[in-house]
């Protein structure tokens, strides 16, 4: 079945439209591309309103997420599998096109790391943290990282008292937040 999109006027296969039982032919009036574009534009224009709404309805959104968690997870897995090659190719291109940016970031990180070395740190104890992280990763089959509790990028020290071993997943969630505490 071929449908004409009311937005771009192009004639496209029915797979290019969202299913919508309310409509006569069972499909959306505009094609997926047009609706996605519209959604993107809407999100950009109403960025601040959306942010405010999300902040005011945190609990509601959280409850909604937990109720539909399995569907979300299934969809994101499906999306990842479907777009894996595309994503990898994109990352490859990004690295290629942003060599200068990535290099300067690496240099900055190196400088930060050097600056963050605490003069009274105990290298032996610090090594224990890294050994522990490696051993936990091997034994449990989950990746662990040594994390700087107060992030180096925010002026934290590379010192044994500022280190903790946490899972990589948690570490990514934490990233450079300073108000993130483990229970």
Nearer to Zn ion (CB atom), residue 36 or residue 74: 36
Part of the chain binding Zn ion (CB under 5 A), chosen from 8-16, 60-68, 108-116, 119-127: 8-16
Distance between CA 180 and CA 159 in Å, rounded? 19
| Residue of 39, 19, 38 lying closest to 3 (CA atoms) | 19
Distance between CA 154 and CA 177 in Å, rounded? 9
Q: Does 3 help bind Zn ion (rule: CB under 5 A)?
A: no
Q: Which residue has the tokens 């400088």?
A: 111
Nearer to Zn ion (CB atom), residue 18 or residue 72: 18
Residues 27-46 that bind Zn ion (CB under 5 A): 31, 34
Residue 166 beta carbon to Zn ion: minimum distance, rounded to whole angstroms: 46
Kindly state the DSSP code that residue 19 receives in the 8-state scheme.
B
Nearer to Zn ion (CB atom), residue 5 or residue 165: 5
Distance between CA 118 and CA 95 in Å, rounded? 33
Interface with Zn ion by CB under 5 A: which residues? 5, 7-8, 31, 34
């Amino acid at each position: 079945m071929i449908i004409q999109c009311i937005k771009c006027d192009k004639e496209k296969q029915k797979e290019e439209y969202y299913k919508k039982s309310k409509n006569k032919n069972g499909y959306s009036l505009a094609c997926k591309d047009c609706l996605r574009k519209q959604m993107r534009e809407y999100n950009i224009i109403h960025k601040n309103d959306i942010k405010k709404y999300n902040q005011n309805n945190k609990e509601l959104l959280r409850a909604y997420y937990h109720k539909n968690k399995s569907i979300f997870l299934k969809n994101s897995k499906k999306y990842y599998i479907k777009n894996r090659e595309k994503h990898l190719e994109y990352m490859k291109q990004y690295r290629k096109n942003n060599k200068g940016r990535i290099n300067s970031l690496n240099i900055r990180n190196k400088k930060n790391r050097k600056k963050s070395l605490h003069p009274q740190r105990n290298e032996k104890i610090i090594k224990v943290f890294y050994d522990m992280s490696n051993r936990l990763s091997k034994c449990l089959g989950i990746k662990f990282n040594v994390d700087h509790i107060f992030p180096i990028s925010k002026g934290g020290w590379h010192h044994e008292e500022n280190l903790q071993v946490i899972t990589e997943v948690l570490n990514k969630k934490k990233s450079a937040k300073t108000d993130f505490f483990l229970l």
